[in-house]
Amino acid sequence: MTKRTQPALDYRSVELDGMRYVILRESAFELLCGKARLGTRVAPPNEATAAPGLDLDRASLAEKLVRRRRAAGLSQAELARRAGVRPETLNRIERGRTTPDFATVRKLVVAMNAAEHERLTVSTSTQNDKETSHADGE
């Protein structure tokens, strides 16, 4: 008895919003549907996927926000507090689990800019203090 090797089905999987999805070749999908005698239809776009490029945007946005927040020297909780955004929301945004609206992104940007500005001001004034005390010492 010779065993026939089954052709392997290549696929990848992704997790979006806590749901796992399988990505496979369209031809393989059609083959499977054919075998299962299932008709196919393209799901109508829903609100979450209607905006083009949104999923890609979410990942790159999350990455950039984390980088910017760290550059501003803020913890997630601190940024959430300053921006008036719920900490859980910011956490979800930074993990790429949700796409924030422009108003939310804006609050975050404003808070991060302010924090960066404060840091610059503080470091400059500390430097000035040092220079002053140095001058005093002479």
Partner 1 sequence: MPMESNVSCGVLSSRDQVLAEVKKIVAEHSDLAASEIQEGHRLIDDLGCDSLDVVEIAMEVEEEFGIDVPDDLTDNSQTVGEVVEGVVQLLRQSQAGD
- Positions that interact with partner 1 (CB under 8 A): 51-53, 57, 60-61, 64-65, 68, 99-103, 105-106, 109-110
Q: For residues 18 and 73, what is the distance between their CA atoms, to the nearest angstrom? A: 30
For residue 18 the two structure tokens come to 């806590």
Least Å from the CB of residue 26 to partner 1? 22
Nearer to partner 1, 52 or 137 (CB): 52
DSSP label at residue 73: T
For residue 10 the two structure tokens come to 């290549």
Least Å from the CB of residue 121 to partner 1? 19
Q: For residues 3 and 132, what is the distance between their CA atoms, to the nearest angstrom? A: 86
Least Å from the CB of residue 74 to partner 1? 15
